[in-house]
Amino acid sequence: MDHPSVIRPEAYAEWRTEKMGKSTLFESPRLLVGLNAFEPGQSHALHAHAGTDKLYHVLYGEGVFLLEGRELAMRAGDVLVAPDGVPHGVKNTGAGRLLVMAVLAPAP
């Protein structure tokens, strides 16, 4: 999309039947702003980024954040930061779609 412009992020979600859908809203060497779209039951396995901090912001739906062996309940409006090297993931445990904004700095 053109930037800078005001957008509704949910309009850019990509839903896939076979696995979590990913889309990118903005990317520079410093910052990656993307969407992770989870159909019910879909997940993003525990992983870590060396040298990158990641901010999650739940736009709608509900599920759990996977974090260092723990599962943390989350719902729309919740925020989690996974700093450099901290293993993290997401699972949609709800009955509906789960849409999460993921912000990575710097871009991996």
Place of tokens 């409006």: 77
Tell me how far CA of residue 7 lies from CA of 1, 4, 27, 94, in angstroms.
9, 9, 15, 26
Of 67-86, which residues contact a second copy (CB under 8 A)? 67-68, 72-74, 77-84, 86
User: Can you tell me whether residue 9 is helix, strand or coil?
Assistant: helix
Q: Which stretch binds a second copy (CB under 8 A): 8-16, 38-46, 91-99?
A: 8-16
Number of residues that bind a second copy (CB under 8 A): 40
Question: Does 97 sit near a second copy (CB under 8 A)?
Answer: no
Of 20-28, 37-45, 91-99, which part binds a second copy (CB under 8 A)?
20-28
CA angle 99, 87, 75 (to 5 degrees): 30
What is d(CA 94, CA 97) in angstroms, rounded to the nearest whole number?
A: 7
Interacting residue ranges for a second copy, rule: CB under 8 A? 3-10, 25-26, 28, 30-31, 33, 51-53, 55, 57, 59, 65, 67-68, 72-74, 77-84, 86, 88, 101, 103, 105-106
